[in-house]
Structure 1
Amino acid sequence: MSITRLPTGSLWLIVSGCLLLMLSFGLRSSFGLFVEPIQAFTGWGRDIIGLALAIQNLAWGVVAVLAGGLADRFGHAKVLIAGAALYALGIWMTADVAAIWVLNGGTGFLVGAGVAGTAFGIVLPAMAGAVAPSQRQWVLGVGTAAGSMGQCLLVPVIQRLIDALGWSGALHVMALMALGMAVLAMPLAARHGTPAEHGKPTSPQSAHDFRATLSLARGHASYWLLTLGFFVCGFHIGFITVHLPPFLADAGFDPAVAAWSISLIGLCNVAGALLSGVCSGRFSMRGVLIAIYGARAVATTLFLLLPLSLPSVLGFSAVMGLLWLATVPPTTGLVAAMFGTRYMATLYGVVFLGHQLGSFSGVWLGGWLYETTGSYDGVWWTAVALSLVAMALHWPISDQPVQGRDATVSA
């Protein structure tokens, strides 16, 4: 698959979508760097800060369902612009935060809602709908890799901003960067394809198809197994993104090591996401997910059993990076295979809610257990056990298209 084979309109849409995902995920992945500065400034425990970041993940998942429905009905660009505005406002409120309700409302709800309106659930369906079905998995892999590249490039930059401007000044700059996503949303206002597939208001027939699709999804066992499995992915990513930096600081590492570890995860996930996209197009997507969760269990176990050192931290970060968002192409691909792309944003939004419930659990449990026991060990081993549960959940999943819908809807 060559990018030069794409029509010009689709090419610009994909480029804009990739840049938007780079900003959205790069900014979001940087919040773990602020746990210790906010703790030092306010005197709050990691359970309080962790709860705000857990709310962020939960708000992301809940609002993603609503945002997906709005994008399917009114178009992706409007949702993206609103998401960018909420994202920027939430970050701005976090600077010099002095009240817990402001932390929960800004860092928690508003940033979470902003990420929901600017992340995979909105951008990937737009990108997938702009290309032929044969190109879909490749495009999903490219979009996922773009989010990871944003994590790789922006997290070290944010750490430098914290060093140069202080944590509050860095957040102000991040808020301005978030507003820039509204400009990148413009090409998605002219999505290519038929009105039935893209952002036009739904007709009575398409509304009937939407209700029929949701009805089939409610009774589709594989769809709910996929949702439960994605909970585990969210648990891993939420916990590591937020708590790996303070975990390393407790072990005596420089803050720059944490920033570069998160960055390395993003860099390696560029390759991991692209490889996952290719493998998901050639092999069983269910099998790809089973392999990913099995590898996560092995990598985390080795990280816990081996002596903690700079090589072990970087090695763990690299391996987890290869597996980080590698779950997204096969998961989104399974949703598309089961139900088609017409209501993919909504249906993927429900699956992603399961992911974000997992993120909420991982972030909150990490902070609570740390304040209760003084250690993250319990959460690390819980992450290993959940990897094994995810493997079992994906085993019986079928990727066969559901029956009973109009052929144009399932395309």
Structure 2
Amino acid sequence: MSIFRFPALVWLGIGILVISLGIRQSFGIFMMPVSEHFQLGREFFSFAIALQNLLFGMFQPFVGMAADKWGAKRVIVLGAAAYAVGLYLSSIATLPSMLYLSLGALVGLGLSATSYVIVLGAVAKVVPAKHAVKAFGLTTAAGSFGMFAMIPGAQLMLSQMGWQQALQAFALLCALMVAFAMFMKTAKPSTADQAVVDEKQTLKESLQEAFSHKGYWLIHAGFFVCGFHVMFIATHLPSYLADKNLSATTGAMALAYVGIFNIFGSYFWGVMGDRFSKRHVMSALYLMRTVVIAGFVSLPVTESTAALFGGAIGFCWLGTVPLTSGLVRQIFGARYLSTLYGLVFFTHQIGSFLGAWVGGRIYDYYGSYEPIWWSTVALAFIAALIHLPINDKPVMRLAAAS
């Protein structure tokens, strides 16, 4: 199936992800100005972002269940409203603790309702199974385009208007997500056979089936590592480069390179997941991360190596999303994908919480990011091994129907 023949719902979902994840991935460049405004160390802002990611994950299974029951449209509209309110309240905060409610809880809720789990769950119901991972890869790449598009703009707004006005501009941008959601029609299953099979299963039975599957827990473990990586790098890379006497623009551009190369990487890994064993492709992706991060930490940090690292890590940045969601769909089917993938994503966000917070904690304690960088190398190699023993065959319920 050509990408141009994907249903309109896929493209509306892409528009929502461009905004939602583009804003989210720009938070790293707000660390230094916000920390300086409140005259606190980096752990304060790191914890606010960590809390956001933890709550993002905690809300996700429940938001996924709501989307499976009532449809993605209502969930996205309410989520975009929470996102906008959280950003605006962050911009007018007078006490640091207010950011835990606004940037942490409200933005975390908004993200859970406007990001991958909800959009991919809707996409899974309208795209045939054999093209699902490719569609997931294209949709995931959209979030990376948002990262590439938003971060330079956010950096410009920071320099011209200040961080409060930049957050207010982002809050206004959330209205576009509401507009896109209003045009989304209720998705129908892509095949009649899948609908018949899934209708016989309740949510409780789906959860019991997944929880008794060893591979489901290995998928959780691998996605934990992904969360740790992406939020540590997204939150702390600009500050790490600033510590090496590089400009704020260099840090912003490094993250922008992450975004633009992930556009190609996410689609590439999605295509590979359609052609080859998803678990083997996932192992290859994590091995690539191992080499890239180890090389970056070992080499002298310059503008050139920062740009190269941004591009290289970007290529394998969120390729895990189409592969992980594709594995869940392949094993358990599409009916309760938003719920089952939502639970996996919660584990991802526990990793994100630790990556964002522990990075700041380690820096404030040691005055260096070196220990945490080498921890990410070890975790990447472990994740590469974790995916090899996963049994990725469809469960007996689906196999019997097909």
Matched residues, number: 401
TM score, norm. by length of structure 1 = 0.94
- Does the alignment pair 1:370 with 2:366? no
**1:178 Cα deviation from its structure 2 partner:** 1.6
Deviations 1:78-117 (A, max 9, x none): 1101110111111111114222321111111111111110
Aligned residue number for residue 137 of structure 1: 133
The answer to whether the Cα contact below 8 Å between 1:212 and 1:405 also exists between their aligned partners in 2 is no
- Does the alignment pair 1:25 with 2:15? no
In structure 2, C-alpha distance between the alignment counterparts of 1:208 and 1:244, rounded to whole Å: 45
In structure 1, C-alpha distance between the alignment counterparts of 2:31 and 2:348, rounded to whole Å: 22
In structure 2, C-alpha distance between the alignment counterparts of 1:132 and 1:287, rounded to whole Å: 22
Aligned-pair identity (%) = 38
**1:259 Cα deviation from its structure 2 partner:** 1.1
**1:190 Cα deviation from its structure 2 partner:** 3.2
Aligned residue number for residue 2 of structure 1: 2
- Does the alignment pair 1:60 with 2:56? yes
| Change in 2 beyond 3 A, CA 1:195/1:401 | closer
The letter of the residue matching 2:52 is Q
Deviations 1:296-326 (A, max 9, x none): 1111111111111111101111000000001
In structure 2, C-alpha distance between the alignment counterparts of 1:186 and 1:313, rounded to whole Å: 40
The answer to whether the Cα contact below 8 Å between 1:45 and 1:371 also exists between their aligned partners in 2 is yes
The answer to whether the Cα contact below 8 Å between 1:129 and 1:197 also exists between their aligned partners in 2 is no
1:216-231 aligned within 5 A: 216-231=209-224
| Change in 2 beyond 3 A, CA 1:4/1:239 | closer
**1:288 Cα deviation from its structure 2 partner:** 0.8
In structure 2, C-alpha distance between the alignment counterparts of 1:122 and 1:328, rounded to whole Å: 13
Aligned residue number for residue 151 of structure 2: 155
The answer to whether the Cα contact below 8 Å between 2:126 and 2:189 also exists between their aligned partners in 1 is yes
1:204-215 aligned within 5 A: 206=199, 208-215=201-208
The letter of the residue matching 2:149 is L
Aligned residue number for residue 359 of structure 1: 352
Aligned residue number for residue 84 of structure 1: 80
The answer to whether the Cα contact below 8 Å between 2:87 and 2:103 also exists between their aligned partners in 1 is yes
- Does the alignment pair 1:40 with 2:56? no
The answer to whether the Cα contact below 8 Å between 2:35 and 2:44 also exists between their aligned partners in 1 is no
- Does the alignment pair 1:402 with 2:395? yes
**1:406 Cα deviation from its structure 2 partner:** 9.5
In structure 2, C-alpha distance between the alignment counterparts of 1:147 and 1:246, rounded to whole Å: 23
The letter of the residue matching 2:273 is S
SS in structure 2 of the partner of residue 348 of structure 1:
helix
| Change in 2 beyond 3 A, CA 1:390/1:406 | closer
SS in structure 2 of the partner of residue 264 of structure 1:
helix
Question: What are the ranges of 5 or more consecutive residues in structure 2 without an aligned counterpart?
Answer: none
- Does the alignment pair 1:13 with 2:9? yes
| Change in 2 beyond 3 A, CA 1:327/1:220 | same
SS in structure 1 of the partner of residue 238 of structure 2:
helix
In structure 2, C-alpha distance between the alignment counterparts of 1:182 and 1:218, rounded to whole Å: 34
In structure 2, C-alpha distance between the alignment counterparts of 1:305 and 1:224, rounded to whole Å: 33
In structure 2, C-alpha distance between the alignment counterparts of 1:321 and 1:169, rounded to whole Å: 29
SS in structure 1 of the partner of residue 300 of structure 2:
coil
**Most deviating of 89-98 and 137-146:** 89-98
Aligned residue among 243, 249, 252 for 1:256: 249
**Most deviating of 397-406 and 213-222:** 397-406
Aligned residue number for residue 384 of structure 1: 377
Question: CA RMSD for the aligned pairs?
Answer: 2.0
SS in structure 2 of the partner of residue 34 of structure 1:
helix
Aligned residue among 265, 270, 277 for 1:277: 270
Aligned residue number for residue 303 of structure 1: 296
In structure 2, C-alpha distance between the alignment counterparts of 1:169 and 1:153, rounded to whole Å: 18
The answer to whether the Cα contact below 8 Å between 1:235 and 1:361 also exists between their aligned partners in 2 is yes
**1:252 Cα deviation from its structure 2 partner:** 1.4
Aligned residue number for residue 162 of structure 2: 166
Aligned residue number for residue 112 of structure 1: 108
TM score, norm. by length of structure 2 = 0.96
Aligned residue among 63, 70, 86 for 2:66: 70
The answer to whether the Cα contact below 8 Å between 1:148 and 1:266 also exists between their aligned partners in 2 is yes
SS in structure 1 of the partner of residue 335 of structure 2:
coil
Aligned residue number for residue 50 of structure 1: 46
In structure 2, C-alpha distance between the alignment counterparts of 1:193 and 1:403, rounded to whole Å: 20
In structure 2, C-alpha distance between the alignment counterparts of 1:386 and 1:54, rounded to whole Å: 19
**Most deviating of 89-98 and 146-155:** 89-98
SS in structure 2 of the partner of residue 217 of structure 1:
helix
The letter of the residue matching 2:12 is S
The answer to whether the Cα contact below 8 Å between 1:213 and 1:405 also exists between their aligned partners in 2 is no
The letter of the residue matching 2:301 is L
Aligned residue among 124, 130, 135 for 1:128: 124
Deviations 1:301-352 (A, max 9, x none): 1111111111110111100000000111111110001100000000000111
Deviations 1:144-183 (A, max 9, x none): 1111111011110111111111111101000111232111
The answer to whether the Cα contact below 8 Å between 2:38 and 2:96 also exists between their aligned partners in 1 is no
The letter of the residue matching 1:401 is P
The answer to whether the Cα contact below 8 Å between 1:197 and 1:342 also exists between their aligned partners in 2 is no
**1:193 Cα deviation from its structure 2 partner:** 3.9
In structure 1, C-alpha distance between the alignment counterparts of 2:191 and 2:60, rounded to whole Å: 23
In structure 2, C-alpha distance between the alignment counterparts of 1:300 and 1:399, rounded to whole Å: 28
In structure 2, C-alpha distance between the alignment counterparts of 1:167 and 1:342, rounded to whole Å: 42
- Does the alignment pair 1:93 with 2:89? yes
Question: What are the ranges of 5 or more consecutive residues in structure 1 without an aligned counterpart?
Answer: none
SS in structure 1 of the partner of residue 127 of structure 2:
coil
In structure 2, C-alpha distance between the alignment counterparts of 1:168 and 1:283, rounded to whole Å: 47
